[in-house]
Structure 1
Amino acid sequence: MDAPGREAGPGIVTEHKTRRVRVLIVDDHAVVRRGIRAYLEVLDDMEVVAEAGDGQDALDKLETMAAHRELPDVVLLDLLMPKVDGSAATAKITKTYPGVRVVVLTSFGEMERVHAALANGASGYLLKSAGPAEVAAAIQAAARDDVFLDPAVARRLTQEMVSPPTGLSALTERERAVLALVATGKSNKAIADELVISERTARTHVSNVLRKLQLTSRTQAALVAVREGLVPPQT
């Protein structure tokens, strides 16, 4: 048998077929899934193999596909979804199926979410303002084991490397909330109860706040919170 793409005889050349990238689309809005699917399915190098309405649905479908050795190459998913959110689903997917790549397509561009997604193994991060061509490019890059970032996200990441955030800007939204609670004199346990997290997690957040602000005590943290207007001065 002649190898694909080589001459099979005088004047005859066999057709070379490129393997299409298999994609699983995950979003809790059906209209979004349909729109993405409609675009990807007209591309010669893309194949939408399934859709899922939330993170748990995606994990269930991947388990079934794995049993039949039909895993997708790339999972395109949103972050904010019911049952299992996109960040948790990304971590589970990349850990359980190391050959499957994840590209995040979301409305949220906060750097805390970007860092979390990339830390959980995402190969791409796009905002839903991206054009169809960018979505396709991100999927293709992920399939090649490359990373594709939304231009706005990439600029912010670059800015972070050039000028690392300092002061309150170095804190995540949750850490700012913890700082405000520290300033009101709440203990780690009280902070945990207020934010509905474990006391251990609260303690970790407090430690991170002190480290990022280069402080050595909760009293210093309270003074910073008052100075920056997070809480009113104690009378």
Structure 2
Amino acid sequence: MSVAAPVSAPAPAPVGAEAPVGRPVRWLARLLLAGWVVTLVWLSLVALRPATLADLEADLRAGEVETLEVVGGLAPQSRGYSTVELRWRSGWGRQAATAVEATPGRQATLARSGTPLDDWGARVPVVEPGLADRLAALDADVRVVEVDRPSSHGTLFGWQTPMESFWVLLVLWLTTFTVLAWHEHPQRATRAAWAWLVLLGAPLGPVAYLVLGGPAGLLRPPAPGSRRLTEGWALLLALLLPPTAR
């Protein structure tokens, strides 16, 4: 009489183990990560960061400005006032400072009513006409170029950026959310926690998810049973991120 061997039940999966990510999702995550990095590098090169006339004067005296772009300003022999924006590249990024050129009569009027605001919401100084010429005298090698104001731009992460950057970042952001929706068991944080970081922490949150969350497969997964960041702490972390990242 033969006795049947007992059938052993399959071993349960280790607590906290992450399901493997499919190859299509992994490659999409890697392409997304490359897209985020390329876009952020591009923005750091083309975006305008707020600066002051004192910053521009210091860079001119140090010989760090090759081209000074002038947008607007009061035309010669004109009366009244006009906003002038000065743009230059110092090191890696581009900067912009704004002032108001005004004739003496208008300067008194502006002093009583208040000067205009720049694109970042700060009050701009009032100066005499001919500001670009006075600044150019600080560095004989600087090239002064009059340019037109872009037809459309916006403020993103505290920078003035081209409008097309909003569409590029929107596509990256929505696609990152799609990958997260397909990724049932992300690493190092729950899916709800990563959702808060991706939603409120752009661009750092999406990049952190693609690298640390595991969809791109760039890092070794944590040990089974490792603690994960929960949604409550993730929401608090997302709200505490610096303003340039939100």
Q: How would you bin the TM-score normalised by the shorter chain?
A: under 0.3
TM-score (norm 2): 0.20
Greater relative contact order (Cα < 8 A, sep 6+): 2
